[in-house]
Amino acid sequence: MTTTDTAPHMQPFQAEVAELLNLMVHSVYSETDIFLRELISNASDALDKLRYEAIAKPELMENGGAPKIQIVPRKAPDTLTVIDNGIGMDRQELIDHLGTIAKSGTKSFLAKLTEAKDGANLIGQFGVGFYAAFMVADRIEVTSRRAGSDQAWRWSSSGGAGFEIAPASEEDAQRVVRGTEIVLHLKPDAAKYLEAYQIERIVTAYSDNIQFPIELVPEEGEPRQINSASALWQRSKSELSAEDYTQAYKQIANAFDEPAMTLHYRAEGRYSYAVLLFAPSTKPFDLFEPQRKGRVKLYVRRVFITDDADLLPGYLRFIRGVIDSEDLPLNLSREMLQNNPQLAQIRKAVTSKVIGEFEHLADKDADSFAKIWDSFGPVIKEGLWEDYERRDKLLALSRFTTTKGENRTLKQYVAELRENQTEIYYLVGDSLDRLKSNPKLESAAARGIEVLLLTDPVDAFWTSVALEYEGKPLKSLSQGDVDFGLIPTVETDKDEPAKTEETDEALVIATIKDALGERVADVRASQRLTSSASCLVAGGQGPDRALERMLAQQSRGGASKPILEVNLRHPLVAAIGRPGQADAADLSLLLLEQAQILEGELPDDPAGFAGRVNRLVLRAL
């Protein structure tokens, strides 16, 4: 409806708006703070629109002063006023924007809002952010003048069935030269929003990086700016110094260390968003919390939305920073955060960018990457287990302690493969010292074969995935068959016991099997051992020994029976095959129990183990 009548005119709300306002007026939602965020966001949008239209019509900026947003609390009339000198609205725009919800999906939104226990996270996602003000106000008055117009208009509503619209009074028109003034008549239980510290708290939490100044206008004294008005991530990299980035990191991440890596770029195309991310140089206190929550903040057009959007996978949860989208709606619900296709594309693209930056850093600044790996290597390796798409890149980035040294890469490992070596060998355990003394390393050491020594808890999981690097599969020394027969030795192992008597190998194996019974899945001659008598390994199928132990400790499955491998050249093993050996059963059990101890396990029967050792020692005496 159009009219030139200057008298106040009543109009009904669109049916969905009336239903929405009824929910707002009788709101029991706890997060009422978001009403101010929504009004500030709308004001910022109005200033953006003015700046855009003024490109073609510079005269629109002539009256009204520099762009800004003002918040005016007044306790005597219990009013909170939000003012912007942006593009403003004419009569029809007031009706269209404040009297209808001109977006699809309104019915769905209302159904979700009605069902939600706390609907604050839904408000705004369908363009209804303005109406959140009715959670705290029983009456709202809006005075607006479109930039370049001679006429100002006044819209008012108590949140009932309709609203009133009329030309603004002469006094109001003189006050609102350009833009919009929103006066909230606060409910008694919303009086806290008249306190300056409450307003500053909300602005700092949600709107600090709005690019326009936000001023608090106290009842006494001069207006003062309460936001930083500096969304640094929206600025060009050429404008910023290393110190700027360091200060931004400390502010955004609430950190005290220096960033080990900074990633700043702007994505343009189907989706537009700015990215400013940092890798800390020290471990955050919450790095190993079970929830594995990320701490990258999501902004929409410089308005803070949440730091709980899982914008990066769990294995990059140590990354701090901001992603600011130009396209997403405000107040994304938790369901939309999980299922929004735009967010899914952003997650995928930003994750790849972070991994790419790691690769660049590892190649060009090895010391900086070493800081990241030393602090977060165990976390990054979680990606080897869960991120199939980037698994090869993460494996190439990984640094390992090996039998040759520290911070070794698989590229270095493969470059130094021994003659006829076709696999990359590793051993998983809970202690580097224990791994270095593990008997399973003996044959590999005799042939100069490098072995990865893996001691992080996650190593037991990612190594259960079939992985390879440059066509060389990773192979556990604790699982399945190992045959080093084609790889020449580098020197004679002086500690290797000489075989001094003929041994009936079949008889020895059969005797040990008979003594151990159901305690082991099998007994077989070892290709891993040179000086030790025995060791335990897992079968070729199923989990490795380290993963089995970990799962058993967490009551997530019973450990399967191990395979006992014995060194037939060892005198203790050879003694079992001697005719009339009275101690064959005790010696066989001792081979199992000492292998368990070397694995960091207790013998199944500690008292029986002590008795056996005592008997054998006494007989020797």
Binding-site residues from annotation for ATP: 38, 42, 84, 89, 103-105, 125-130, 180, 334
For residue 250, give both structure tokens: 């400390």
User: Are residues 463 and 474 in contact, defined by beta-carbon separation less than 8 angstroms?
Assistant: yes
CB atoms within 10 A of CB 111: 10
Q: Which residue has the tokens 């990059």?
A: 316
Name the nearest CA neighbour of 83 among 92, 74, 91, 93: 74
Edge-first strand listing for the sheet containing 534-537: 522-525, 563-566, 534-537
Secondary structure of residue 479 in the 3-state scheme: strand
- Compute the distance between CA of residue 16 and CA of residue 413 in angstroms, rounded to an integer: 66
Cite the DSSP H helix spans in 418-529.
432-436, 442-446, 459-462, 505-516
Where are the extended beta strands (E) located within 146-271?
A: 152-157, 162-167, 179-186, 214-216, 224-225, 259-267
Secondary structure of residue 183 in the 3-state scheme: strand
**Phi, psi for residue 503 in degrees, rounded to 5:** -120, 130
- Compute the distance between CA of residue 563 and CA of residue 524 in angstroms, rounded to an integer: 8
Cite the DSSP H helix spans in 26-149.
34-56, 91-99, 106-115
For residue 618, give both structure tokens: 């006494």
User: Are residues 503 and 568 in contact, defined by beta-carbon separation less than 8 angstroms?
Assistant: yes
In eight-state DSSP terms, residue 194 is: G
The annotated binding site is made up of 38, 42, 84, 89, 103-105, 125-130, 180, 334
Q: Which residue has the tokens 């390994």?
A: 537
For residue 163, give both structure tokens: 């609203």
Cα–Cα–Cα angle for 280, 284, 286, rounded to 5 degrees: 145
Beta-bridge partners for 522: 563
The pairs formed by 392-400 with CB atoms below 8 angstroms and a separation of 24 or more are 392/469, 393/355, 393/359, 394/355, 395/467, 395/469, 396/359, 396/469, 397/355, 397/358, 397/359, 397/362, 397/373, 399/370, 399/373, 400/452, 400/453, 400/454
**Using CB atoms within 10 A of its CB, is residue 492 exposed (0-12), middle (13-18) or buried (19+)?**
exposed
